[in-house]
Amino acid sequence: MSEGKNQAQRELWNTFAGERWTRRQVDIDAMLGGFTQALMRASGLEGSAPQTVLDVGCGSGETSLMIADLGHKVIGVDISTSLLALAQKRAGDRANIRFLEADASDAVFGEEFDLLISRFGVMFFDDPTAAFAHMVQQVKPGGRVVFVCWRPPAENEWVTMPMQVLVSVTEPPPPPPPDAPSPFAFANPERTRAILEAAGLTDVQFTAVDASMSMGSGKGAIKAADFVMEVGPAALPIAQLPPETIAMVREKMESAILPLLKDGYLSLGGAIWVVEARKP
């Protein structure tokens, strides 16, 4: 990989984000459960003949394990050392799965894939058109690409609620440029369609899916605040604040969460695209 390419994401997922997502794996997989199921339904893997699958941005392995347990061969690729170590531990002695620490935008896997799949792992490339063009080269003719990505932040309560609290205490973080790598880089379907078609894909389809997202497994406003201040777009801006400001954010976060609790637990709305495409 050329020096500096996707380097900001490599650093983020091997420090701040990687540490938190590794530690919070069980809660994060539960949080994303509704969207994971939507991705797996769109994949068409259940009940199909054995396929060879590339799982891009596989993280701690949730989707890769599901694919393997359906009888398919899967390679999970990610740039986070800690998340991949956890994925490998979770995989145990499964023979039809392997994990690779690499940048999917230029890695060569020595396989031809029936399916490229991703759960929120394809929005972070510095040059997404080039990244998809490279990945699609390794998909068989007639093969498919299926991934989930976030719709705009304003449609995602799990983003807007913590950010509203944050900006009530301090200046909002500057938004990234519209085309910059970020969780919401593919929120605009017109832009995403252009990227996929430029990479040689056809039959591009978008399906909107909404689901409730559990904000951690801890009961009460304190535990829920712990989670929303550690996971999501507000987490890094909060962590960069001085301790006294973080304490103010926490107090306001707990107050905002309290009336939203149901049976002691917090769930917030999430909104995604399920994106499907085909290689001619």
CA distance 216 to 228: 8
CA distance 278 to 142: 6
Is pTM, for the whole model, over 0.85?
yes
DSSP-derived secondary structure for the chain: --TTTTHHHHHHHTTHHHHHHHHTHHHHHHHTHHHHHHHHHHHT-TTSPP-EEEEET-TTSHHHHHHHHTT-EEEEEES-HHHHHHHHHHHTT-TTEEEEES-TTT---S--EEEEEEES-SS--SSHHHHHHHHHTTEEEEEEEEEEEE--GGG-HHHHHHHHHHHHHSPPPPPPPTTSSSTTTT-SHHHHHHHHHHTT-EEEEEEEEEEEEE--S--SHHHHHHHHTTSSTTHHHHHTS-HHHHHHHHHHHHHHHGGG-BTTB-EEEEEEEEEEEE--
- Per-residue pLDDT at 75: 98
- Per-residue pLDDT at 174: 83
- Per-residue pLDDT at 1: 38
Largest CA distance in the chain: 57
Nearest to 208 by CA among 163, 275, 127, 272: 272
- CB-CB contact of 120 with 32 (8 Å): yes
DSSP-derived secondary structure for 138-202: TEEEEEEEEEEEE--GGG-HHHHHHHHHHHHHSPPPPPPPTTSSSTTTT-SHHHHHHHHHHTT-E
Pairing of strands 139-150, 267-278: antiparallel
Q: What is the phi/psi pair of residue 242, to 5°?
A: -65, 155
State the distance between the two ends of the chain, measured CA to CA, in whole angstroms: 28
CA distance 52 to 116: 9
The CATH label, of 3.40.50.720, 3.40.50.1240, 3.40.50.150, 3.30.420.40, for the domain at 7-154+176-211+271-278 is 3.40.50.150
CA distance 94 to 204: 33
For the chain, 280 residues long, the average pLDDT of each consecutive 10-residue run is: 71 92 97 98 97 98 98 98 98 97 95 97 96 98 98 97 96 82 95 98 98 98 97 93 97 98 98 98
